[in-house]
Amino acid sequence: MDYQQTALLLQQIEAEMKALQWWSQQVPSSEALASTAPFACDLMTLGQWLQFIFLPRMQTLVDGRLPLPRNCHIQPMAELAWAPLTTAQQPLLDVLKALDSLLSDSIPAAGRL
């Protein structure tokens, strides 16, 4: 698994979110953070989920050299959540797509369907 490349993409996601002014100083409620819905869509925006759930969890996995998730499909969800898309959002979508691809490519050939 490519932890270094994953860490770089996580940093790029944060940078792009900050560039879009989507980075929040206000932490969602404990109820929202405990959501079990996919992407916490019942209580958070996708941007909040990325910032407060996905990025910290992924960073913990990278730091601990723990198994990374396989077949993340965040970029297609982002396209739906942020429609209609703007050109300003494209760099963030590109980084999410790169992360999706990296995690999908990390699956050993025998494990792919």
Q: How far is CA 44 from the centre of its chain?
A: 14
* CB-CB contact of 48 with 40 (8 Å): yes
Q: Give a yes or no: residue 113 inside a domain.
A: no
Burial 18-41 (b: 16+ CB within 10 A, else e): eeeebeeeeebeeebeebeeebbe
Q: Give a yes or no: residue 23 inside a domain.
A: yes
Task: Indicate which CATH number applies to the domain containing 54.
Answer: 1.20.1440.40
Q: Give a yes or no: residue 112 inside a domain.
A: no
- Total number of domains constituting the chain: 1
CB within 8 Å of 100: residues ≥ 6 apart: 72, 73, 74, 75
Q: Give a yes or no: residue 84 inside a domain.
A: yes
Q: Give a yes or no: residue 98 inside a domain.
A: yes
**Three-state DSSP class for residue 82:** coil
What's the Cα-to-Cα distance from 110 to each of 23, 76, 107, 113, rounded to whole Å? 39, 26, 8, 8
Q: Give a yes or no: residue 45 inside a domain.
A: yes
Residuewise pLDDT in 10s, the chain (113 residues): 689 999 999 999 999 999 999 999 999 999 999 999 989 999 999 999 999 999 999 999 999 999 999 888 999 999 999 999 999 999 999 999 999 999 987 554 444 33
Structural domain including 35 reads 3-107
pTM over 0.85: yes
